[in-house]
Structures are given as structure tokens and as C-alpha cells.
Amino acid sequence: MNKRIAVFASGGGTNLQAVMDACLEGSIPGEVVLVVYNRKQAYARERAERADIPTRYINKLMFETPEEKDAAILDTLREYRIDIIVLAGYLDIMGPSVVAAYRHRIVNTHPALIPAFCGMGYYGERVHQAVLDYGAKVSGCTIHLVDEGADTGPILLQEAVPVLPDDDAATLAARILPVEHRLLPQAVALLCEDRVRVEGRRAVILPREG
């Protein structure tokens, strides 16, 4: 049975689009049935609406406490009977109650090689500028499971991308983004196929049955 997927996004939604396309093509045995966004100008909402996918606006400023926000998220996830959560450029931290309810079923993409250039404050072009400022020779993309920290969950997939001498943050981002578009759907497919087992800090990818 196909898994029901919720995608959380804050911006343009290109990774959301990659996941939606992979579902339609059949490479992900699941369906995006909900898109949650926390910025009213997020183009991800328009992508979802064009695909006739329900959307929900949930912003932390709507609530008096983080716990109230997390409760609203959980209520929404239950309403849509969500199996898998995908964070696709989502600029917020999942609260502990959400993480606990979906332990090892939340996946996030980060445009650098964790554990370098990650954590609070490392998002968008800030990540790539930090890579350049440090003088790193490689960067890349990391797909990881989400825990209670910021970019601290077990790593599922990674791929390195070279940093070129004439790169700026925009050109480095443009070279990494297609890798995100390829790896994130692969990771979502692994979760939908129940092929991920977590052993301590390690996310082990299981072989396909049969």
C-alpha cells in the first residue's frame, strides 16, 4: 500500500516538486497528500495547489507556545493520516512531540555535508557562503532522518560536490540543488519501502525483499 506523505516547505518548493514528480512517475511508492507551509509567500503552496494537493498554513507566530504549534501540526497530520514527513526547505525545527510521533519517519535535506556547515543558522545561501568562507574544497548534499536537534539525525544519503575556484554562493547552490532533487526522492522511496533501520547513529539501508 502506498504511503501518505506530507511535505513541509518554506520557500520555492523545488524539492517538493521533485518528490511530487517522483511519486507520479512511480519511483516513490507513495503520494503527497498534504503540503504544510509556514511563509505566506512560499511558492511551494502554488506548486501544491496546481497539483490539487491540499495545503495548510502553520506558522509559529499563530501560537502562544511551541507546544501549541506542535499540537496543531500533529492534529493536521492525523487528519490526513500521514505516514511519512518530508522537510523540503522547511525553515523551522520539528518539535519533540512531532519527532516522537514520527520517529525515523521524518526526512530532511541539507545543502552541505553534515556534520560540517549545519545546525542553527545554517540555511539557504548562508550554508554555501560559510563553505566558501572556510575555503572548503568540497561541499554537497545530505539527506538525514530528523531527531530533536538541528541537522543532528542519522545520515541516510550523502553526495559530494566540488567547490570550484570561481564559485560564489549562488553558483555553488545551483550545482548542489540538482543533487538534492535526485537524492531526496531516493530517500523518501526508502522510507516508503520500509527499507531504513536505525542502529544508534547509523541509518542502515536494507535490501529490497525478493
Give the distance, in angstroms, between the CA of residue 127 and the centroid of all CA atoms in the same chain: 15
Per-position DSSP letters for 135-154, written without gaps between them = T-SEEEEEEEE--SSSS-SP
User: Rounded distance, CA 69 to CA 59, Å?
Assistant: 8
Q: How far apart are CA 107 and CA 143, in angstroms?
A: 7
Q: Among all residues, which ones are annotated catalytic?
A: 110
The span from the first CA to the last CA of the chain, in angstroms, equals: 17
Distance CA 104, CA 76 (A): 19
